Amino acid sequence: MGLSKILNYQQGQWTFGSGSGTPLYNAVTGDEIGLADTTGIDFGAMLTYARERGGPALRKMTFHERGRMLKALALFLSERKQAYYDVSFSTGATRIDNLIDIDGGIGNLFAYSSLRRQFPNLPYLCEGEPARLSKGGTFIGHHLLVPREGVAIHINAFNFPVWGMLEKIAVNLLAGMPAVVKPATITSYLAEAVTRDIIASGILPEGALQLICGSAAGLLDAVNEQDVVTFTGSAGTGRTLRAHPRIIELSVPFNMEADSLNASVLGPDAVPGTPEFDLFIKEMRKEITTKCGQKCTAVRRILVPENLVEAVGRSLSAALAQTVIGNPRHEKVRMGALAGKTQYREVLEKIELLKRDSEVIFGNPAHVEVVDADAGKGAFISPVLLLNSKPHAQRSSHEVEAFGPVATLMPYHTLEEAVTLAKLGKGSLVCSITTMNEDTARDFVLGAASHHGRILVLNRESAPESTGHGSPMPLLVHGGPGRAGGGEEMGGKRGVMHYLQRTAIQGTPTTLTHITGTFQYGAKLTESQPHLFRKHFEDMEVGQTVFTHKHTVSEADIVNFANVSGDNFYAHMDATSLEGTIFTQRVAHGYFVLSKAAGLFVDPAKGPVLLNYGLDECRFTKPVYPGMTIGVRFTVKEKVDQEKRSPEDIAKGIVKFLVDVYDETGETVALATILTMVKKRNQED
């Protein structure tokens, strides 16, 4: 019987290359599990297919529709998790490792799905505040972000075949770009299993996702100026790919996540007997053994006050000695195997390099006891702890990454020195400090931040809910400067921006209102008939305005408002106290002006407007004195469609209104954006 074939999904079809294939091995048993091959596959045609099929389909959808698509996908994959766990054991991953890779990947889809609420219900978005470019206000600028018209090409490392794929596609799909994913060949069979289900689900539009299982040499020859390439892997491969002539000539964004010598620091206060010392030992053990040390974020350098080196060495060795290693399916096993024999040999070579400057204080790289497995056949290795007692002079600990369960302990004398040592990694994805002292935390974070993508402060208070040193979070940036690749991914909304083109647009407020779908101050107003409070969500249009009655402000208004609110600030209450202030008379409370504005713009009878749930921006731009007459221009600024949370939920949308309060000269005295919920039509049935 022949080996099973790991297929590529390309141009709507599952295919195997025309070659004989590269065998892939089970990391635990050493058995061959399948063949991967891409010989003869036309990568250029795949990219064209994504640009011509997937791209247009995704760009037609709004951010909200794309977000709901991600949610449907996350729910669909959640139901099939067990099948992926079964496949994942063959990569050497334990149950806990599976939670990180598989559940973590699906969690990313959920997180990015929820992010849709931070975007408009449009295919594109407008960013930040408009820029006023002229005195008269007739010429303004704004920033528009539209999906790039190319492909997101994701070249991934072997260690997280599912998370690596899902955390990246979640972001480009929300942005409206299709993806071609190239998992590392050695564990591509797991990415293939998940992709098979994704494609079969029909949840993504055709062309939104394609998969390459096997060599992708030549893939970048076909990139174009609208594509985005992301790379996760070793710095060497990354450097070669980043220097590809097409990447350089066409300025193709290339996001690189490379190897990183992440540090973790024990604060000087965290002596044995404190909860912080115990937390640190637990965290270091977790970092060394999880995923058999094959995490880009794993702690490689453990920085400890000089007087605590011995205590940490002893406690951490004792903790590591308790790690049960072996068949990841066995319930007692806490650490599985490396991804393969090649990785095992590489880790041994790197340990030899590290040993030039360090001594091994725990673990024998050449020997390991395993449970329910054959140590000779699987890619098993013992955790290894080294000690480098001269970390300034002996630099290999800051330069050599052993991508396995390997870390080096190093002493420091002052916190400043700990910062310097952390920076010797020349830029890392993450570092952490365990301390209960807030000054230590601040000084370390401010000192080390320039060289790190993320910094965790761990102590007895953050620990119970901490996600740990090693976990990149969808809402926080993942990436690091310098050696870590200089890239940045995820980070909530920030990540989506990498797949959008930012374009500065200039014109009149009316033109920009029309383009952006959001009312720009100064644009033409259309009087609403009937009053906006009589209209349902669908019937309101951006720019429709209610011009209210006027009200002349009196001293009695100010006194009454002071009584109701209890705000007796001198400028409202004492006309004799105004010398040296900007006020020339008793000034009306800003909140009175806003409250009175509500009295003017609200149409009180029961109607489609359900509630007002807050204010966005609010500015009091000119003092209002007794005798001045105010009126309101009340304009639909933006509409945000909402989904029903349950069948019983009222169908409604959010309407943001611009409240422009002006005086008898027509000049604005207060501006605010109020947020309301407005019913959709046919709610009475």
| Interface contacts to ligand NAP, rule CB under 6 A | 155-159, 182, 184-186, 215-217, 219, 232-234, 237, 241, 257-260, 296, 401, 403, 429, 484-485
- What six digits make up the tokens of 249? 């000539």
Closer Cβ to ligand NAP, 113 or 294, answer by number: 294
Cα-based torsion angle of the residue sequence 230, 235, 239, 241 in order, rounded to the nearest 10 degrees: -40
Closer Cβ to ligand NAP, 268 or 404, answer by number: 404
User: What is the spatial distance between Cα 660 and Cα 668, in angstroms, rounded to a whole number?
Assistant: 6
User: What is the spatial distance between Cα 459 and Cα 491, in angstroms, rounded to a whole number?
Assistant: 24
Closer Cβ to ligand NAP, 164 or 543, answer by number: 164
Helix H segments across 37-94? 43-49, 55-60, 63-78, 81-88
Cα-Cα end-to-end distance for the chain: 64
Closer Cβ to ligand NAP, 167 or 276, answer by number: 167
The DSSP secondary structure of 200-231, one letter per residue, reads HHT-SPTTSEEE--S--TTGGGG--TT-EEEE
Pairing of strands 551-552, 125-132: unpaired
Least distance from ligand NAP to the Cβ atom of residue 533, Å: 52
Give the dihedral sign, CA 522/524/529/534: negative
User: What is the spatial distance between Cα 657 and Cα 666, in angstroms, rounded to a whole number?
Assistant: 19
Closer Cβ to ligand NAP, 167 or 638, answer by number: 167
Least distance from ligand NAP to the Cβ atom of residue 237, Å: 3
Which listed residue (192, 257, 488, 489) is catalytic?
Answer: 257
Which phi and psi (to 5°) does residue 448 adopt?
-100, -15
CB 38 within 8 A of CB 214: yes
Please give the residue whose beta carbon sits closest to ligand NAP in the complex.
Answer: 233
Pairing of strands 489-490, 477-478: antiparallel
Tell me which residue has tokens 């509500």: 598
Of 193, 180, 114, which is closest to residue 150 (Cα–Cα)? 180
C-alpha distances (whole Å) from 490 to each of 72, 168, 247 are 20, 8, 22
Of 603, 497, 468, which is closest to residue 548 (Cα–Cα)? 603
Identity at 626, one-letter amino acid code: P
Closer Cβ to ligand NAP, 276 or 489, answer by number: 489
Least distance from ligand NAP to the Cβ atom of residue 329, Å: 24
Least distance from ligand NAP to the Cβ atom of residue 295, Å: 7
Closer Cβ to ligand NAP, 447 or 482, answer by number: 482
Of 431, 482, 476, 484, which is closest to residue 257 (Cα–Cα)? 484
Least distance from ligand NAP to the Cβ atom of residue 428, Å: 9
Least distance from ligand NAP to the Cβ atom of residue 182, Å: 5
Which residues contact residue 472 at a Cβ distance below 8 angstroms, ignoring those fewer than 6 apart?
167, 297, 429, 430, 454, 478, 490
Least distance from ligand NAP to the Cβ atom of residue 453, Å: 9
- What six digits make up the tokens of 620? 């009091």
User: What is the spatial distance between Cα 363 and Cα 351, in angstroms, rounded to a whole number?
Assistant: 11
CB 31 within 8 A of CB 80: no
- What six digits make up the tokens of 308? 């605590």
Closer Cβ to ligand NAP, 182 or 589, answer by number: 182
Closer Cβ to ligand NAP, 112 or 403, answer by number: 403
CB 652 within 8 A of CB 608: no
Least distance from ligand NAP to the Cβ atom of residue 519, Å: 42
Closer Cβ to ligand NAP, 7 or 219, answer by number: 219
Identity at 192, one-letter amino acid code: E
Least distance from ligand NAP to the Cβ atom of residue 429, Å: 6
Residue 458, sorted as left (phi over 0), alpha (psi -120 to 50) or beta, turns out to be beta
| 126 in active site | no
Least distance from ligand NAP to the Cβ atom of residue 307, Å: 32
Which listed residue (276, 296, 431, 488) is catalytic?
Answer: 296
| 296 in active site | yes
Give the dihedral sign, CA 604/607/613/614: negative
> Active-site residue numbers?
257, 296
